[in-house]
Structure 1
Amino acid sequence: MANRHLSRSIVLQTLFEWDFSPLGENKGKKSGDPEKIKQALIRNLKEFAPGLEDDAFVSNLLDQILKKQAMIDEIIEATAPDWPIDKISIVDRNILRIGLTELLFGDRKEVPPKVAINEAIELAKTFGGENSGKFVNGVLGAVYKEIGEPGKEHQKEHPIISNRKKDSNSSKEPVDIAKLPVEKKGAALVYAQKNNKENGKIMFALVHDVFGYWTISKGGIEEEESEENATVREIKKEIGLDIKIEAKLGENEYVAAHPSKGKSLKKVVYFLAHSEYKELELEESGGLDGARWFEMAKVPELRIYNDIIPLIAKAVEILSKK
């Protein structure tokens, strides 16, 4: 139904404003002023869809998303455990919020699950990045598979929804980071000189994730294993390079949620490393879909996570002094 597709587009536009501007509060995870958000919706309806007959659908969908947002975001993080909600692009995370709201809380007679998924994929293809459709399809498909098809005996609630209902009469304590299990990872920004050492251009090896970002290759550090040895092994495993670590670039940590293991604190240490220039061999992975060498001068043009940019800048500074 064309009107419904337009309606979802209007909701996405409003959510984008809410997520990007002071309509909300904290990046990625917001509450914001409901009245200001509704005013933005009314403005967008007048500007982009004057005379839309299905404005009740638009209002109800937005209300549901805002009411269920915390739970929906928890489901997104559980389904894509390596990526906190604020690392997913604004467009993609709000398309997921629309799709999951319709999939989990909508009227299935009015909007069947497969229609909700397909509509979200179309929004991703229209408004998202090159890999947005694939990513949205993966997340919604995983949730759909978990809850089962409507009308069948194995249909069930998503476990996060069930847990929320169990906890509804009790106050939920904030996560105590000190009590979370720790997962250590080693990462290396690998550089090489193409052609020869005297005149060759410096190249960086980067990996591309399903969220559409270029980032630094990394892997797990086992207990009692040195950060350097683990990083050398994991880079060889992930992109097929034999590296020599030259400097430490920094550290980062974040909380991630796994659907079966629960929440954990991930600590990543980043190194600058050198290798010979050779073709990259990307390990098959659900989170990565590409690996390439880039000239150092071209890296600023890429779509890169904000917390990775200072690490690359530090690497460039180190290399410029050689």
Structure 2
Amino acid sequence: MSKVVDGIIKDWGDRVGYGKVKRGKKQRNIRGGKLDFGKAPPMVKRSEPRTRLKLTMQKAPEVMVKISGGGKSMRHIKAHMDYISRNGTVEIEDENGNLHLGKEDVRDVRDSWAHGKARIPAEEGTRREAFNIVLSMPPGTSRQAVKDAARAFAAERFGNHQYVFAAHDDEKHPHVHLAVKAVDKNGVRLNPRKADLQQWREHFAETLREQGVAANATPRRARGQVRKAEKQELIQMQRRGVEPAVKAAQKAAVVAEVRGEKPVLNPAQQRIEAARKETVQAYGQVAKALAAGDAEDRALAVEVVQFVQAMPPLKTAHQLAVEAVRARIAGKGGQERGTEGRERSGEDQDQGRKR
């Protein structure tokens, strides 16, 4: 029975996009160069299905792995290395485990990238020559564990590339900046796609769990989430007091709809609803299978049901903003009516006293 349940849980993971692995050449996403199959990037590590399901039910902290940019020339790469090393004041570590501190050390690393087997142009080129990757966890996570997990992740995932990474402690959430040279030692060019980012998230979560940190890497749909996280560049602009044009347009659309103009329709709504339906069905099958198991499985089945019931509604950021504005307007109207009522009541009392 346990094997049957595990199979159903594995099917749940595949259906909600957790653990999907592309195989063959597409999994490696390469262009150019000669691939050395003995040094190919590893398949993502895989936790057993129950572990992933339990972490999801427990709402374990989600890892974040994103590509924040990448240079097309040494000028861009220099700027990024200066940034992650804080102009040589923060220690950076390379793929060989060597530590570099100070402007001269950082310059030596840059020179080794520029004049290596795959040379990088000094000025703007046509292709990305490096990938800047950010690995982070929510506040409260051990900073040392995040750094150690990032070291293991980089070695296993990009072991045939030149790379450097640095841990930053100047923000609440512990994070590591990883810069990877695009072309590896065999001339293979890194070409990550959306599926690779999910694999990287799962891989980083695995390395964190090896450090004793409860970490998960579920796709949004597995958590019932609809809205994407706001882009960091927009957040940074708003912190500087600059309103991005896209935010201004979004506010204007909200105001227009509240005033009774044509509502903004989400072109992906049908697709989102279909994905939610499939996700709920997958959880339903898991809960049904677990309900027929032992006491531990039955308890997990209850968690699954409660998890699905608590999923957020399928509403876009625009819809939620419109509802919030309408609620504020209704609230102000109610307060005004209540004030008027209290004023009338006071007038009546005064008249009564006069009588």
Q: TM-score range by the shorter chain?
A: under 0.3
| Higher-RCO chain (CA-CA 8 Å, sequence separation at least 6) | 2
TM-score (norm 1): 0.23
Structure with more of its chain in helix, by fraction: 2
Larger Rg: 2
Structure with more of its chain in strand, by fraction: 1
TM-score (norm 2): 0.22
